[in-house]
Amino acid sequence: MSLFSSAGFRSLPLPIGQLSLAAVLNCGQSFRWSCHPLACADSKSQASPNDTSNEYRLCLQDRVICVAQNNKELLYRAIFPQTPICEGSSAQALRDGETLSFIRDYFQLDQDLLKLYEVWGENDATFRNLKDRFSGLRMLRQDPWETLVSFICSANNNISRITKMVQNLGIHFSEPLALPSSQTNNQKYHPFPPPSALAPTSVADKLRELGFGYRAKFIQKTAEMLMEEHGSDAEIFKWLNSLRSRPTDEARAELLKLMGVGRKVADCILLMSLDKPEVVPVDTHVFQIAVKYYGFKGGSGSKLTMTPKLYDDITAKLVSIWGSYSGWAQTVLFTADLKAFANYNLPVAPSADQDTPVKRTISMLPTPSPSPSPKKRKRTSATASSALEVTSITTQESELLEDYGIQRRLRSRKVTSSVITSSNLSLSSGSPT
């Protein structure tokens, strides 16, 4: 794609059914990506939830990650702070390798989403009715600290306000990167602030001024608690990351100690940043979905009250249907129920021989279809096959990565969820160190 390569993008072969950026980055998993129209000819196409003419950007600690896509490729690049002129090409190659490494990790490209959709569809008529309209919805593997703070913000809140709040955290508590203005249109990009920046008592007042409401205290207290417990940002990050290799229940219990973290928020953090793909956060949307499609009673009258026991019951039921990647399946149903996605356009299936996106309007979830009796239903064992492994990297890139030991690191990434069997990980588990 000359358009993309001229803009400095590198390409990764990836069917859009494996990842829809527009869906994934707007469905309330992450709140810090910004969307930029690509300066290309195609002005006739209006911005739509699945269009492929946008670039999405996320500011990390040392660079801005940029991604875009078409039907067959994921395009990626990074913008770096201005550095002394004398940088060699090997330094550039190293940074490219790091960027690719981040992309593969963050989007969890080792997971074959098409396979998961297939299995969920086989076992669940409700999912079957949605899967074609909401393809490419996968779980991100986000930074645990950012996820923790973002989801404390999510209590009693909506996506657009959460997004503003999280943006404000960056603007007011973290210095922007010194990026070349030529590449950023003078826009500022702030990394997510570390715990030490949010721990001072004065932060609570500041956050309140910024409209965080009662969550202001939760965020400051949680940051303070973690600083007291672990002493430094580095130790906090280390500890949070260590939760990835602990059993779900233990990791959840740790999170629940933090101020502003209840069961639902804890489960979001587990699912979205701590490698617990089976966890199903039950929010009001999922609760209503459970009532509408999976045989749960919504309390008496119009009031629907969530109790801990009901929460557990719903989780258990959904896991019995969707299996070990239930949290991933939940995201598809959740997104389908979002008003913002009511007019979601069907991404172009690579197999379909048409070049233009098919517009299809839907109005929320389809009507319930009779579900098989629980006893007759096959138990789902959503496997984690890795069809994308290696083949999604070009030879050149592969060599590049080997040069810097990045493939090795990728392969050895520990997938710790107890429900994943070793046979499912044949490719990604390569050589656990």
Partner DNA sequence: TTATCACCTTAG
Partner DNA sequence: TAAGGTGATA
Taking the complex as a whole, the smallest distance from the CB of residue 199 to DNA amounts, in Å, to 17
d(CA 8, CA 126): 42
Q: Which is nearer to DNA, 38 or 155 (CB)?
A: 155
Residue 217 annotated as catalytic: no
Question: Which residue from 267, 266, 251 is spatially nearest to 318, judged by alpha carbons?
Answer: 267
Taking the complex as a whole, the smallest distance from the CB of residue 333 to DNA amounts, in Å, to 12
d(CA 101, CA 313): 38
Q: Which is nearer to DNA, 309 or 379 (CB)?
A: 309
Q: Which is nearer to DNA, 279 or 321 (CB)?
A: 279
d(CA 358, CA 80): 37
Q: Among 264, 339, 375, 376, which one carries the catalytic annotation? A: 264
Q: Which is nearer to DNA, 76 or 134 (CB)?
A: 134
d(CA 129, CA 127): 5
Question: Which ranges of 140-232 would DSSP assign to H, the alpha helix?
Answer: 144-153, 159-173, 181-184, 195-198, 202-209, 215-230
Describe the crossing of helices 248-256 and 263-273 by its angle, rounded to 10 degrees: 130
For residue 408, what is the enclosing H or E element? helix 406-411
In contact, 91 and 98? CB cutoff 8 Å: no
What does the binding site for DNA look like in residue numbers (CB under 7 A)? 27-29, 151, 154-161, 208, 211, 213-215, 217-218, 256, 258-266, 268, 281, 283-285, 299, 302-303, 305, 307-310, 334, 338
Q: Which is nearer to DNA, 98 or 254 (CB)?
A: 254
For residue 100, what is the enclosing H or E element? helix 89-106
Residues with catalytic roles: 264
